Amino acid sequence: MVDMCRAPSVVNPTVRYGQKKFTEMFDAKTRLDRDTRREAILDVAGDLFMQEGFAAASMSEIAARLGGSKGTLYNYFRSKDELFTAYVQRHCVVQSAAMFDLAADAEDIAHALTALGVAYLTWVMSDFAQANFRMIIAEAQRNPEIGRTFYESGPMNGARRLADILVRAADRGDLKLEDPLRAAHQFIGLCQNRFLKARQCNYMSEPTAEEIAVEVDAAVKTFLAAFGTARA
């Protein structure tokens, strides 16, 4: 049997869990339904929000880029706030699905945590994710509903899905847990803690695949030292 308290060594993370694989999975899922007008609107609006910022982006410009009228746009979204909220929610759902698809292929909890940790750090520390996060936080000050949508669809949803994985591992005897959701948040914190504020302050550039692998390896070992069980 595998010693569940020993995290796997990540020698070449780009082969198994790395940035390229996760990026390709995310890119492949960025349109949940390419044939619908609503998804096309969200694609165009998302591009404009990232280029111009929420305040500068207008419904008129979104309609112009779509080649339609504002009237048609308002048939789908009653306001720019509602459109932005839908963009935030879809983005969180897609990103979460891409990450957890990677963990589904892992053969044990150590490898599942490694896959999730690498995918998570690869995404959340990227230039795009950081810019997106800053935009969302800025708008959350004006409209708290946007912040709630982001947190519930993104960080909280991810923590709950990770907690489900942890519960299944505990049921197999691989982990000992008192509060799976708290443990999920603690693992996420272990992964991102050293890089997050540095990235948010623009103190450092995107971490490399090797830097991410080292950080996640340490996080997994620390987490399993606290919650893991050694099975003979």
The SS3 of residue 175 is strand
Number of structural domains in the chain: 1
Look at residue 175 in the predicted model and tell me its pLDDT.
96
CA dihedral 186, 187, 191, 196 (to 10 degrees): -30
Domain carrying residue 152: 13-30+92-227
Q: To the nearest whole number, what is the mean pLDDT of the chain?
A: 83
pLDDT for 158-186, tens place per residue?
999 999 999 999 999 999 999 999 999 99
For residue 172, the one-letter residue type is: R
Residue 80 placed within a domain:
no
Q: Are 32 and 18 in contact (CB under 8 A)?
A: no
Q: Is residue 215 classed as helix, strand or coil in its secondary structure?
A: helix
For residue 68, pLDDT over 90 is answered with no
Q: What is the CATH number of the domain that holds 198?
A: 1.10.357.10
**Residue 2 included in any domain:** no
**Residue 63 belongs to a domain:** no
- On the CB side of 223, CA atoms within 13 Å amount to 31
Asked if residue 54 is part of any domain, the answer here is: no
Residue 4 lies in a domain: no
Q: Is residue 69 part of a domain?
A: no
Identify whether 61 is part of a domain: no
137: in domain: yes
Give the pLDDT confidence of 185-200 residue by residue, as tens digits. Answer: 999 999 998 999 999 9
Most confident of 36-45, 148-157, 209-218: 209-218
Supply φ then ψ for residue 53, to 5 degrees.
90, 160
Give the number of other Cβ atoms within 10 Å of residue 77's Cβ: 20
pLDDT of residue 34: 43
